[in-house]
């Protein structure tokens, strides 16, 4: 069974541009989560989508946005890129958004802003 898949693996963008990251959850999972892992800042929660709706949002500016499609895949958009947006972006999924359900992570997308 395929795990959480993310694309692209690496992305280099210029400051001010937009980046789009994509995620396919494990088959049967309806909840998708996005996390940012920046050097020195640890793992920070970005967004949670469940059944196509945004359910929760972390402490990030509005230029971080996303959506979940009817097939439960998701994309994360980062507008007006800043140098400090350089990080590993991890997508994760779980079977529904029920408390205690295991959240499984993908390998991540490395975003470098120059």
Residues that bind other proteins (CB under 8 A): 4, 31, 33, 42-43, 45, 48, 55-56, 58, 90, 92, 97-100, 102-108
Token pair in block for residue 50: 């469940």
* Shortest Å distance, C-beta 8 to other proteins: 14
Q: Which of 54, 35, 38, 42 is nearest to 103 (CA)?
A: 35
* Shortest Å distance, C-beta 16 to other proteins: 27
Closer to other proteins by Cβ: residue 89 or 113? 89
* Shortest Å distance, C-beta 69 to other proteins: 20
DSSP lists the bridge partners of residue 85 as none
Name residues whose C-beta falls within 8 Å of residue 45's C-beta, 6 or more positions apart in sequence. 33, 34, 35, 56, 58
């Amino acid at each position: 069974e395929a795990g959480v898949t993310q694309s692209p693996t690496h992305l280099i963008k210029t400051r001010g541009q937009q980046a789009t990251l994509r995620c396919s959850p494990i088959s049967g999972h309806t909840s998708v989560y996005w996390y940012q892992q920046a050097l020195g800042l640890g793992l920070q929660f970005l967004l949670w989508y469940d059944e196509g709706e945004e359910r929760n949002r972390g402490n990030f500016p509005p230029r971080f946005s996303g959506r979940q499609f009817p097939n439960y895949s998701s994309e994360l958009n980062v507008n007006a890129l800043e140098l400090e947006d350089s990080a590993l972006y991890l997508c994760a999924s779980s079977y529904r958004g029920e408390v205690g359900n295991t959240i499984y992570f993908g390998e991540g997308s490395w975003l470098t802003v120059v």
